[in-house]
A and B are shown apart, each in its own frame.
Chain A
Amino acid sequence: MEKVISSKPFSFGGKERDKYKLTVWEQMKRNRSCYVLLAPYFILFFLFTVLPVISSIILSFTSFNMLQMPKFVGLENYARLFLEDDIFIIAVKNTLIFAVITGPVSYFACFVFAWIINDFGPKLRSFMTVIFYAPSLAGNAYFIWQLIFSGDRYGYANAILMNLGIITSEINWFKNASYVLALLIIIQLWLSLGTGFLVFIAGLQTVDQSLYEAGAVDGIRNRWQELWHITLPAMKPQLMLGAVLQITQAFAVSDISINLAGFPSVNYSGTTMVTHLIDYGTIRFEMGYASAIATLLFVLMIGTNKLIQKLLRRVGD
């Protein structure tokens, strides 16, 4: 039977005094049980996450239609994306607009709401948590926006604006290229208080109350100073995780665009990198080209995440 002496490195007497004498292979053998426990998860993780990322990068240099073998084409897919595909340029532009607006706004919203709610009693706090979290919890709840912004007189937005005399004839919201992006941004924000929001609520509750009292003694005079000097530094780990979740979500806008604005949306006004990827990957079956889009998206998401983490490490310093 395998012997685990301690969770700390190995303590041996006699001949094997020096634990660093153990080769990697010996250490692995001693920890066989770890690998057995890890195996089910990581086999699936490699199969459905690691392998796809690697193959996506490789396929992005090929032309592949699922029927014939992939053919190496070098940088042709990337050149086509940037030089010939006008819709891709629109998709990149829309994706960046979504990310730049909904990323930071939703991140601050998650934090600020969690922070305000944190001052409430437990009952009101848990009620407000449900109200804010419900839209993202129920994935398809956004269908209701179709009724609100319905293009006819039955639509609530049209009805209200016409009653107020702001417009005289109904607006066909999701079929008008100049409204689509703005509407999708509003709806995305509505949907975006997700897991990150819960992480912040939880993080705020773990901040040691005595820190606040000590802060008051040390001359902290208002809630803003308290926020910057005590709360934020105390919950840096949650701030980092929240950022990851919000950034990833902000770059991946697609379902609401496809289901509300249509696929393709009018004049591609709601096209994003993900919808473009879905178009080539599942409709046109140009897998190499779709993989090039996926690879760019991957680089963009990881790059932004790493950059923001670097910035967040400085909070409260």
Chain B
Amino acid sequence: MDERKIRATKTRKVNRSLGGNIAMFTILALIGVFMAFPLVFIFNNAFKPLDEFFKIPPNVFVRNPTLENFETLSILMSNSWVPFGRYLFNTLLITSVGVVGHVVIASAAAYPLAKRKFPGDKLLFSMVVLSLMFSYNVTAVPNYIIISKLGINNTYLAVLLPAFAFGMGLFVMKQFMEQIPDSILESARLDGASEYKIFWSIVMPNVKPAWLTLGLLQFQFLWNTNGSGFLRNEELKPLNYALNQIVQGGVARAGAAGAVGLITVGVPVILFLLVQRNVIQTMATSGMKD
């Protein structure tokens, strides 16, 4: 009895039965296998020598791991019409400008919505909340027209400008900023700090976990974009587009496609691992209160 009590206080879990734990764990393990299997394939395929791709029946796990797929990929890329470095540059440019711009622009708008009262505050925020309730496909047709009329079709801006005003980012940032105590802002105001200074040197340093979260969500979106039909010049296309072209090469490109799979999945997963704790901390405040 005493021993059980100690364990309960140690893990801080009450109302758990052993049978229930086993049942829950079994369910989770089964679904976990379903979720993880394709990822295991992706990982193994990246290191399979070509002959292992064409075995009947196919193997899941690689027998003789090799790096030759990555070599094939780099040869393919260096022979491509537009040099590989260009695609990489495009992606680095789009993701870095997109992430920084989004974090700054969305945070600037989130601060007054979280901490100030002014005419229109509720209306503006509820429009952003409403925008979470439909997907971007709904606005695709007029967006194409608007981007053409602005004369930014076939430029990086066609991808970047809409992404700067991503609704989820503002929502998450505003909810996170609400927990900053008003007293710090008050005392800065008494010291004569302007609102811009308060935003930049008091609020921003206090919301680092939320920056990382907005950054991750935005990175995820931009890393996966293929230019959404706006980047038509080959020299403007992002890495993801180039990599997908290789995957679509079919059987002949199976090895290189395996390497591509690992790169496209691996990069965002590694970034997520680095910022996971911050993301969870941010999401804890992001519920929808009405």
Chain A contact residues, CB within 8 Å of chain B: 1-2, 4-9, 24, 27-28, 31, 33-38, 40-42, 44-45, 47-53, 55-56, 59, 66, 109, 112-113, 116-117, 119, 126, 128-135, 137-145, 147-148, 153-156, 159-160, 162-163, 190, 193, 195, 198-199, 201-203, 205-206, 209, 212-213, 215-216, 220-223, 225-226, 235-241, 244-245, 247-249, 251-252, 254, 274, 277-278, 281-282, 287, 290-291, 294, 297-298, 301-302, 305-306, 309, 313
Contact = CB atoms under 8 A, between A and B. Distances in A.
Given A31-B116, A156-B58, A305-B133, A44 B161 contact: yes
Nearest to A248: B135
Given A48-B146, A139-B220, 8 more contacts: A33-B196, A36-B196, A131-B32, A139-B224, A141-B264, A202-B282, A225-B15, A277-B141
A134 B133 contact: no
A38 B107 CA distance: 9
Contacts of A238: 283, 286-288
5 contacts: A41-B108, A112-B27, A134-B269, A141-B42, A251-B135
Nearest to B130: A302
Interface centre among A34, A56, A209, A239 (most CB of B within 10 A): A34
Contacts of A2: 194-195
Contacts of B217: 195
Contact of B39 (A6, A47, A131, A239): A131
A8 B62 CA distance: 64
Given A37-B108, A48-B165, A140-B264, A145 B141 contact: no
A281 B165 contact: no
Contact of B36 (A41, A116, A131, A138): A131
3 closest A-B pairs (Cβ-Cβ)?
A: A237-B287, A139-B224, A41-B109
A203 B157 CA distance: 36
Contacts of B111: 37
A174 to B, nearest CB: 14
B281 A202 contact: yes
The number of chain B residues touching the other chain, given as a range, is 35 or more
A201 B42 CA distance: 26
Interface stretch (B72-80, B83-91, B92-100, B182-190): B182-190
B15 A222 contact: yes
A40 B108 contact: yes
Nearest to B280: A202
Q: Is the interface of B mostly helix, strand, loop or mixed?
A: helix
A147 B41 contact: yes
B66 interface: no
A153 B56 contact: yes
Contacts of B58: 154-156, 159
B116 A41 contact: no
A34 B38 contact: no
A42 B109 contact: yes
B195 A34 contact: yes
A59 B105 contact: no
A1 B217 CA distance: 37
A38 B140 contact: no
B257 to A, nearest CB: 8
B45 interface: yes
B170 A41 contact: yes
B142 A37 contact: no
A199 B13 CA distance: 21
A306 B130 CA distance: 10
B131 A198 contact: no
B109 A37 contact: yes
B264 A290 contact: no
Given A42-B109, A52-B142, A131-B36, A252 B135 contact: yes
A136 B281 CA distance: 20
Contacts of B195: 2, 4, 33-34, 37
A222 B138 contact: no
Contacts of A50: 127
Contact of B279 (A24, A198, A298, A301): A198
Contacts of A294: 137-141
B14 interface: yes
A55 B268 contact: no
Given A7-B117, A202-B281, A48 B269 contact: no
B287 A236 contact: yes
B139 A135 contact: no
**Of listed B113, B150, B283, residue having the most chain A CB within 10 A:** B283
A119 B287 contact: no
A143 B261 contact: yes
B288 A37 contact: no
Nearest to B226: A140
Contacts of B145: 55, 66, 287
A130 B266 CA distance: 12
A85 to B, nearest CB: 17
A202 B283 contact: yes
Contacts of A148: 38, 41
A159 B165 contact: no
A301 B170 contact: no
Interface in B1-35: 12-17, 20-21, 24-25, 27-28, 31-32, 34-35
Given A2-B195, A298-B134, A59 B287 contact: no
B118 A37 contact: no
A290 B137 CA distance: 11
A240 B117 contact: no
Contact of B35 (A33, A135, A221): A135
